[in-house]
């Protein structure tokens, strides 16, 4: 798939991904690069239907079913949006991807991590991000930023989010080359500068 660049953004709810994605997009565009934004779940089309179920369905959802819905959306995102853009040499910035399923369904819901990793591999046909940012924030900051209006996932509770956060920290330790853990409680500009430093280090190494 190599030609463009595939960068993903991760972290618990309220970690500041959206702000950083916007700033990085502007940075690339100032430098004459073509950027495509996408997200999981639900970038467009069928994905938005899956997102609606995943975030708003109020009946029982088994963790296994939940995983497969996120994975189905992921397959669609990779095939329809990410892969074509990368092949055209574009930079794809994706709000959540494989590590969300490991952190939320694996660490959070308690599903087997190796199995999720294998399923991620199948859903993405083995395409991995070139670089991943995890913005780490504490649970109190997360809860305060999310506020009272919570979707189905955000309503999972403090213990759940503690496990998800630990998951992200483990992921960054296990794959330090791809996954960069950044303190998400710092000022926005500091975080942005760290993101740019990592991106440029990757581009220089290529």
Nearest by Cα to 203 from 82, 27, 13, 17: 27
Strands of the sheet with 131-136, listed across from one edge = 35-39, 91-95, 5-10, 131-136, 179-183
What span, in angstroms and rounded, lies between the C-alpha atoms of 43 and 119?
A: 20
Reduce the DSSP state of residue 136 to 3 states and report it.
strand
- Build a one-symbol-per-residue string for 65-84: x at contacts with ligand TYD by CB under 6 A, - elsewhere: -----x--------------
CB of 154 to ligand TYD, least distance (A): 6
Cβ proximity to ligand TYD, 8 vs 195, nearer residue: 8
Cβ proximity to ligand TYD, 74 vs 192, nearer residue: 74
Assess contact for 164 and 107: CB atoms under 8 A.
Answer: yes
CB of 61 to ligand TYD, least distance (A): 11
- Build a one-symbol-per-residue string for 13-42: x at contacts with ligand TYD by CB under 6 A, - elsewhere: x-------------------------xxx-
Q: How many residues does the chain have?
A: 206
Which positions touch ligand TYD (CB under 6 A)? 13, 39-41, 55, 70, 95-96, 100-101, 104-105, 153-154
């Amino acid at each position: 798939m190599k030609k463009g660049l595939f960068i993903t953004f991760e972290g618990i709810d309220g970690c500041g991904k959206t702000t950083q994605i916007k700033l990085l997009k502007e940075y690339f565009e100032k430098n004459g690069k073509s950027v495509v934004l996408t997200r999981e779940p639900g970038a467009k089309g069928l994905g938005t239907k899956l997102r609606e179920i995943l975030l708003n369905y109020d009946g029982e959802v088994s963790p296994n079913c939940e995983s497969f819905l996120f994975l189905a959306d992921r397959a669609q995102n990779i095939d329809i949006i990410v892969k074509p853009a990368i092949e055209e040499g574009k930079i794809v910035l994706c709000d959540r991807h494989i590590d969300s399923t490991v952190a939320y369904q694996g660490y959070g819901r308690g599903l087997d991590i190796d199995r999720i990793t294998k399923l991620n591999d199948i859903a993405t046909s083995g395409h991995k991000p070139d670089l991943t940012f995890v913005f780490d924030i504490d649970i109190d900051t997360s809860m305060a930023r999310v506020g009272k209006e919570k979707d189905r996932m955000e309503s999972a509770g403090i213990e759940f989010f503690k496990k998800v956060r630990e998951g992200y920290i483990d992921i960054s330790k296990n794959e330090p080359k791809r996954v960069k853990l950044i303190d998400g409680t710092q000022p926005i500009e500091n975080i942005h500068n760290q993101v740019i430093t990592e991106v440029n280090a990757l581009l220089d190494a290529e």
